[in-house]
Homo-oligomer: A and B are copies of this chain.
């Protein structure tokens, strides 16, 4: 009881000190409505916080971090709270301060000439896409949560999405970073430079580190010429090997114009057809694999349709493709994309989803898909196994959908989830892949990471963590596997 009291006193003192930095109205204290900040969006992790603090700028972030460092208080950085692995959720101890970046939402600079934009960490991804469009440029990062995720979180997880094939993942889009280190010092590597061979490229440390090495407060990002024309097709294929062969042919035929290649298994589309009523499937579901192909070009006069038709025609002759729909209008293109974008919603409604984010070398992609399907069926015969994803990147999301009656909640599902993860992770490692392509590690995957990663690598990651965050206050319990 007295402990609880002294805890409460300590919390009150902390809230007061944080309020002195950001203003009381920007601190959410225990007892106030912290719910939006202490539960991940999938509802899988429920934590507590000593305080949720919303700094207005980099200086306030630095001051908050210094305060926490002085008091030995742990910090959980949080952007849009759309992460897939719980990296932005505090633990249940109620000891951590959640640092929300929402208010760092300024566009500091944009240059069509330099093809670059400098934004603060709290900028919504979609806002950055729109700002780029205003100067006739493209910011290519595109993913399901783009309407609410923040660029700081995208950088922290090295987010992927549907444009990686053409433009690379988030790391490749970052020109410069501004980071608040765990001791509160600000590392300014924000220059929007295309080339830099002037000593160690320190900013790389913080990309994909999920807030465990520091807090990204701003970034300079690459912009690209805007595509002016596009062509979209959905094709049916007799086997996954055909998907990869077709991809090779398309690359030779149209080169960089290949913007997106999104594969879906028939089962995945069936799940959507069953559970997302307003999605139209404009073809019979007779083939085992379907592929969404998008070509884009920055030159308005370019004819994309002819090379696409020619490539698909040749693929028909060879038996690589058994059916194809080419979008005749923007509306038709949207309808085809809607199928792809309904994947999460449809799967979630179909049952308890055990999803995976493995990436393997492309040559092993087909073998990976076949092996995991067989091995999951062995450990979970009742599971519905469906797949979708960025096949051009070697990143197929394998979903095992469990019967919701049999597995009503995470606790009940846990043992089965562990068995399924184990076979998928073993296949991933055996085929030279890694378990997370674009979602990150967070809380969800740290044990799995430790199980399949070379101990020398994990040891070096721990040393890097200890170097930058010796007190272990920055997003503890995330990314790195639990100590044995």
Contacts and interface: CB of A to CB of B under 8 A. Distances in A.
Interface in A162-202: 164-165, 168-169, 171-172, 181, 185-189, 191-202
Nearest to A156: B197
Nearest to A170: B197
A449 B395 contact: no
Nearest to A358: B198
Contacts of A113: 244, 247-248, 362-363
A188 B439 CA distance: 22
A473 interface: no
A193 B361 contact: yes
Interface stretch (A13-21, A273-281, A348-356, A429-437): A429-437
A201 B158 contact: yes
A325 B205 CA distance: 46
Copies in the complex: 2
Interface string A295-311: 00111001000010000
Given A115-B251, A457-B189, A359 B196 contact: yes
A188 B454 contact: yes
Interface in A363-402: 363, 390, 392-395
A460 interface: yes
A406 interface: no
* Size category of the binding interface on chain A: 35 or more
A479 B199 contact: yes
A132 to B, nearest CB: 13
A360 B191 CA distance: 8
Nearest to A440: B197
A299 B363 contact: no
A152 interface: no
Contact of A191 (B111, B195, B251, B434): B434
B197 A158 contact: yes
A213 B480 CA distance: 22
A108 interface: no
A61 B286 CA distance: 55
A112 B157 CA distance: 29
Interface stretch (A93-101, A122-130, A252-260, A407-415): A252-260
Contact of A432 (B191, B202, B460, B461): B191
B362 A197 contact: no
A405 to B, nearest CB: 34
A4 interface: no
A172 B204 CA distance: 12
Nearest to A428: B198
Given A168-B172, A247-B113, A255-B298, A194 B434 contact: no
Contact of A362 (B114, B257, B464): B114
A90 interface: no
Interface string A238-276: 000000100110011111110000000000000000000
A207 interface: yes
A30 interface: no
B457 A394 contact: no
Contacts of A440: 197
A15 B189 CA distance: 44
Contacts of A188: 454
B194 A441 contact: no
A359 B199 contact: no
Contacts of A207: 201
Given A160-B195, A197-B438, A256 B225 contact: yes
Nearest to A461: B200
A116 to B, nearest CB: 8
Given A114-B394, A251-B115, A191 B457 contact: no
A215 B425 CA distance: 30
A456 interface: yes
A460 B187 contact: yes
A45 interface: no
**A-B pairs, 4 with minimum CB distance:** A255-B298, A225-B255, A204-B204, A114-B362
19 contacts: A116-B362, A164-B195, A169-B195, A188-B454, A192-B361, A194-B393, A194-B394, A195-B438, A196-B436, A197-B439, A197-B441, A198-B435, A199-B453, A199-B480, A201-B204, A204-B205, A205-B205, A225-B251, A254-B299
Given A191-B361, A191-B434, A201-B207, 19 more contacts: A113-B244, A114-B363, A159-B197, A160-B197, A168-B172, A171-B201, A181-B460, A187-B456, A197-B357, A198-B435, A198-B453, A199-B480, A200-B209, A205-B205, A225-B251, A225-B252, A225-B255, A227-B255, A257-B298
